[in-house]
Structure 1
Amino acid sequence: MAEPVADIAGGAQAAKDLFSGAVGGIAQVLIGQPFDIVKVRLQTTTAYPSALAAASSIYKTEGPRAFYKGTLTPLLGIGACVSIQFGAFHAARRHLEARNAGRPLGYGQYYAAGAFAGVANSIISGPIEHVRIRLQTQPHGAAARLYDGPWDCVRKLCAQGGGGVRGLYRGEAVTVLREAQAYGLWFMSFEWMMNADAARNGVPRSEIASWKVAAYGGLAGEALWLGSYPFDVVKSKMQTDGFGPAQRYKTMRDCFAQTFRAEGMRGFWKGIGPTLLRAMPVSAGTFAVVEMTMRAIN
């Protein structure tokens, strides 16, 4: 009779993981969207000499609302993405803990659980980010606008990609690589800092102060981007590329090669400044909200 009870308990915990992740995802979008549009503009054009110049130009020519261009798609989707990230990570973690038979997880196992979460997340993060990037980089003004919102963008990407969802999933291979590396590092870094604090101070994890949770989450965000940023640059280039005769990059490998030939190694780090500035508050807010939500519902 123990198995059904265990299944119910496991299902309830999985639901809590998913719900906490969704709440954290909403916080992530609201905090990070202005930084993200500056990052994407720097990655995909040479029009701006710096992040400050990009932000100033966006503000002057498009107005303050432009910093939340394309927000509807991530607001609907990133909540689901972060929900999947935390749900998949904790499911993988519990599986590994069961296999360890009481031994604590190694940090390679935390990385593997995070990478699994990233790959699971990439199924929906790829098209969501593709639509967001297209909306963020389209010309300003009603006359020059390419898409009349997220659903029009989805429809046109599917049509331009030859029908079906192939156009929507452009750049998916590099998205999978980025997500696996990024979230492997993200969760591993956060768990290491949380476990070290609990051991150093002799307290259970649930008693670690919320400001520390936020600080460790912010530092984990820095590790995420420093370890995966070149993949993100290639993804952005592929997801702003044209279709048909206007397509510059045939494959992920071709995009890496062209970027290196044209810009050298520096080309893979364009926009890293605003990305790291964004990572600290966004990741801090995400982990703090998820952790506090989990403590509240438990």
Structure 2
Amino acid sequence: MSDHDEAAAVRPLTLAWVHRHLEAGERVVGVEALHGGITAEMRRLTIGTRDGGTRPLVLRSFVGVADAEDWLHREAGALTECDGTGVSAPRLVAVDPVAEHCEYPSLLMTHLAGRTVIDDEGLETRVPLMARQLLAIHALRPVRQPRAYVALTTADTVVTPQCADASLWAAAIDLIRRPAPPYEGRFLHRDFHPGNVLFDVPPASPADARITGVVDWAGASWGPVDLDVAHCSTHLALLHGPVWGLRFTEAYEEAGGALAADASERLYWLVRSGLAASEEVGAVSKPWREAGKTELTTRAVEERLDAYVTALMHAPA
């Protein structure tokens, strides 16, 4: 077995567990660390098959994460729900949510073709595709309803950027002190954004891009579709500029999605998601810089977040 780097090495107990879930005559012949994630160690395993060929699997391990058991149960359940539907997600191979067999809580799944795309070029094509994909996720009717969503911020934990208008941000914070609006629950991905969507983009024709799959289902939840839409809108605003965050909401409705009927209710979810990002600007932007978007310094992303929240608060009612 060969490793592409030292960080890729699979721990002994985990490797033995993986082998127990392979087909007869198969073995792990290569390991590669996958970068870009925030909470979990990700590795692509190359599996040698009996006929001399290979096939890829993905190993996801949570090291020192307090909520690992819950997240892995959610992900395993979501992958099972997506199997056989129009939503392309990895297929679950095995899960060890409490590290009964592995050194750390782990999940083994199939590998999807495609890659994440964070370039500005081609956004006008990819944003509508993402909106339609998210709508398809919300259309799923799970056999077993996942747990209710968990809010990712409170009024007391928001971090107001130094560059921000303090009074405007105070008004935004007051907005999320209100009780959450009523909603009709739907199946949520809960972390749907460009970093978790895989694309096939022909080099000579970006306009012919297509989605090959959606990954990272550890936050799968039951809740308002507005929350999923707002989360992706925030990431698009930070990655590509505020206008693209606003555009995603429009694209979701153009695809046939129904958001909260009342403008103040839609604003609540959009602002809540934007303010949630204030607490993790550094963690969110680091993978983008590592992927080549070196201009997205923490300060630059904070400025985009401020511009996005300002645009939301100034939007006509």
- TM-score under structure 2 normalisation? 0.26
Structure with greater strand percent: 2
Structure with greater helix percent: 1
- TM-score under structure 1 normalisation? 0.27
